[in-house]
Structure 1
Amino acid sequence: MKKKLRELQLIDVDILNAVVKILNKYHLKYYLIGGTLLGAVRHQGFIPWDDDMDIAMPRKDYDIFLNKYYKELPSHLSIKNFQNDLKYKYYISRIIDQRYWVREVRDKSSQDSLINVSIDIFPIDGTPNNEIARNIYYLRIMYYRALISLIQKNNIDFERNRNFLERLMIIIGTHIPLDKFFSTNKLQYKIDKILKQQASNSKFAGTIMGAYRTREIVPRYFFGGGANVRFEGKIYVGPQKYDEYLTHMYGNYMQLPSKKEQKQKRHFEILKSKGD
């Protein structure tokens, strides 16, 4: 199992290097974020039990890459998002390696759970500066996110710690055929419109479409001009205030989680090819 996990991690690194080569060529900003950044700072590489990779780009650079420069990716790599695939489940974009396959652990649908190895790319979007307006903005995004989650019943993470209201919504939502009333793809476009309306110089910004939702909104200066971090033997770019970012996200981030928590981090079952 460890050998296959390491193979997956190294495929992710190859994808990252191909993407970063293009971003550097055209001076497009990016940052390692989330668990990938945590791995870089704490382990100088992958968190040993981690099986995915996340980077983020300022909205302007993200859109430029998606609309133009992704075409320079090697032939075995391609981009997937809700704009080019009506059945795509997520708002964020993924750069996929068409040669390798994994199965999403939390997806109970055998038809949809088999996917290509990929890395995630998130846009960094601003928020309203006014606190009341910012909270209304959060509610709008969370409403659409909740609808999408309930439509995609097979993709709900039932092992995640949730508050009472979230658990109640899941119980109710999983018994109502919401897919007959709403289209995931159309909801993604609604989210996209809201996110793109936000100012690029707002006080706060982040990757609200990430797993930690509003917790991923931080003071914009945390990202800044970026800081060099070492990851798997190479230098990449993390947020300028990466210590503040990681503390905000994880608290005492240098402390290792329990063995039980480590096991809960699995996202994929690793397959060599679709025929395995």
Structure 2
Amino acid sequence: MENELSTVQLIQRKELSIFKEFIRVCEKHNLTYFVLGGTLLGAVRHKGFIPWDDDIDVGMPRDDYNKLMELDQNEFNFPYKLINEKNTPSFTKAFMNLQDSSTKILMTYSNIPHEESLWIDIFPIDGLPNNPIKKYLHEKHYLFARMMVQLSQFNKIVNQNKNDRPFIEKLIIKLADFIKVEKFLKYNFWQKYYISTISKYNMNAGYAGNYTGAYKLRELVPTDYFGDGVLLPFETIQVRAPQMYKEYLEAIYGSNYMQLPPLDKRVPHQYTIISLGEEKCMN
């Protein structure tokens, strides 16, 4: 357990270095970001990483997200690289990574293991309309588009070992695996369809959030929750969080978000470390 813990801590240090580089570039170009998901929960509950967590999630309003995507790669210091579907065709996600190219890990959660560099996830923040009818229709449209783009790259990204899925999801996954669904669905078409769907409304529509997150529609909260943001301590730095971060966390994790999960839930992600590059001293 001691070796595992030291490995997680080493990865967290690498992640924090990537995060610092991301913040530097955002501040240089006056781009807005917010810590999301487990990173925000860690900032509030632990003033840093959740002890067993090993990644960082940030979100950016779609306009700023697009500006970041268009930046020259030279804006990022070595060994950091901004990876997205525009500059890396093999990257099949609807969000971006900032990666530390000096590291290598083997992802083992899907049918096809694949190598990656350590990264932080950078998600677009999009809108959801206030109008009840438009809201309902857009939610269903989004869920359909998300399902189709995931099925179109089933063997690469779908985690078949995830236990907390609804019954209908488990049934669809078993069927998709049985009929080899990737043979019938064109990824490029469904990816464009998906991004077009989630980017239809901006943050001023009434609700806003990260459509590409693990919690799906639970991550869409009243736009006021984001506001101008507030600074919270995270390890050795200050990070920008949604203005109403307590309400945001309660919407996603429930009212007991400050309570630690059971021991069997305190596990890092599924991967094997190949190389973590040269270890660097952190200030």
* Aligned partner letter, 1:14: S
Task: Map 1:71-82 onto structure 2 (within 5 A).
Answer: 71-82=74-85
- Using a 3 Å threshold, how does the CA distance of structure 1 residues 250 and 153 change in structure 2: closer, same or farther? same
Q: CA RMSD in A?
A: 1.7
Q: Is the 8 A contact 1:37 1:238 kept in 2?
A: yes
Partner of 1:261: 265
Partner of residue 64, structure 1: 67
- TM-score, reference length from structure 1: 0.92
Question: Secondary structure at 1:36's aligned position in 2?
Answer: helix
Listed one character per residue, the Cα deviations across residues 99-156 of structure 1 (whole Å, up to 9, x for unaligned) are: 001222312313xx21110000001000122222222212222222212333323532
Residue 31 of structure 1, CA deviation: 0.6
* Alpha carbons of structure 1 residues 88 and 170: separation in structure 2 relative to 1, 3 Å: same
Q: 2:205 maps to which residue?
A: 202
Distance (Å, rounded) in 1 between the aligned partners of 2:206 and 2:74? 33
Matches within 5 A, 1:146-161: 146-150=147-151, 151-157=153-159, 158-161=161-164
Q: Answer with 191-200 or 203-212: which moved more.
A: 191-200
Check conservation: 1:102, 1:117, Cα contact below 8 A.
yes
> Which structure 2 residues correspond to residues 219-258 of structure 1 after superposition, within 5 A?
219-251=222-254, 252-258=256-262
Partner residue of 1:183?
186
2:126 aligned partner: 125
Code of the residue aligned with 1:239 in structure 2: it is P
The Cα of 1:88 is off from its aligned counterpart by 1.9
Residues 9, 46 of structure 1: 8 Å contact kept: yes
Distance apart, 1:233 and its partner CA: 1.7
Q: Please tell me whether the aligned partners of residues 4 and 270 of structure 1 are also in contact (alpha carbons under 8 angstroms).
A: no
Distance 1:240 1:48, change over 3 A: same
> Please, which runs of 5 or more residues in structure 1 have no aligned partner?
none
Q: Which runs of 4+ in 1 moved over 3 A?
A: none
Once residues 171 and 54 of structure 1 are traced to their aligned partners in structure 2, the CA distance between those partners, rounded to angstroms, is 29
One-letter amino acid matched to 1:142: L
Question: Aligned partners of 1:67, 1:154: CA distance in 2, in Å?
Answer: 26
- Runs of 5+ unmatched residues, structure 2: 278-283
Partner secondary structure for residue 65 of structure 1? helix
Letter in 1 for 2:17: D
User: Match of 2:178, SS?
Assistant: coil
In structure 2, what is the Cα distance between the partners aligned to 1:15 and 1:185? 29
Report matched runs for 1:154-169 at 5 Å: 154-157=156-159, 158-169=161-172
Q: CA deviation at 1:56?
A: 0.4
State the 1:70 CA deviation: 5.2
Distance 1:70 1:236, change over 3 A: farther
Instruction: State the shift of 1:249 in Å.
Output: 1.0
Question: What's the CA shift for 1:80?
Answer: 1.5
CA contact (8 A) 2:110 2:158 kept: yes
Distance 1:131 1:65 in 2: 33
Q: CA deviation at 1:220?
A: 0.5
The answer on whether the counterparts of 1:226 and 1:237 sit within 8 Å (CA) in structure 2 is yes
Q: Distance in 1 between matches of 2:227 and 2:166?
A: 33
**Contact 1:51–1:267 (CA under 8 A) maintained in structure 2:** no
Give me the TM-score of the superposition, normalised by structure 2: 0.90
**Residue-pair matches, total:** 271
Cα distance per residue 1:220-273 (max 9 Å; x no partner): 01110001110012111111001111111111111000011112x524333325
